[in-house]
Amino acid sequence: MSTLIGKRAPQFKAAAVINGNTIVENFSLDQFIGQKNVVFFFYPLDFTFVCPTELLAFQEKLAEFEKRDTVVVGCSVDSQFSHLAWLNTEKKNGGIKSVTYPIVADLSKTIAENYGVLAGEYDIDEDGNSVFIGAPIAYRGLFLIDKKGVVRHQLVNDLPLGRSIDEALRNVDALRHFEEYGEVCPANWQEGKDALKATAEGVADYLSKH
């Protein structure tokens, strides 16, 4: 898998469910360029086990992302109709009712493929037939896309490994701090803690205090 860091996020237009109850066609991340950062994340499938914990955890922190001029958008290889059914299923029944951020349908798997998170690939067998090798779903990929549409953070987990929503927020904070103050953020940096100037003197000064 090649990295997308520093590159324009792959563009797409696809069906999506917004506000938990409305299907829209031709949803695109381009609508946020110049206005919002985007946390765009992939999950394997609707109606599974780890996935609802992640989607609901993003919803619980949604106001924190919004305070940081950041929108959250999910995506899986399910259809928009599967998304809508899952969004209308109660939590006690394994659903994600209450989730309001957009969830994109990638039934063709091209969005996952373009972002480098498809858990397999198409090939040709010995009889000349097209076959899929691996799992035809997305890994747990997460991309922080800035207001210019450029990928600034990329994280990909294997299917069994759920993500930390707080870590996604931390990276949003780090990007905002860098853009506002020009300071880079050291290991385990949190909002409100010291950052440092990207110079030898700046590093030495930071290390002398820590």
CA distance 130 to 121: 10
Tell me which of 51, 72, 87, 142 is the catalytic residue. Answer: 51
Query: Is residue 154 a contact partner of residue 142, using CB atoms and an 8 Å limit?
Result: yes
Residues β-bridged to residue 121: 133
- What burial letters (b/e) apply to 116-131, b meaning 16+ CB within 10 Å? bbbbbeeeeeeeeeee
Residues in contact with 135: Cβ distance below 8 Å, sequence separation at least 6, in sequence order: 44, 119, 120, 159
* 185 given a catalytic annotation: no
- Here the tokens at position 101 are 């951020």
DSSP notation for 47-94? S-SHHHHHHHHHHHTHHHHHHTTEEEEEEESS-HHHHHHHHTS-GGGT
CA distance 191 to 169: 10
- Here the tokens at position 131 are 């076959």
Residues belonging to the active site: 51
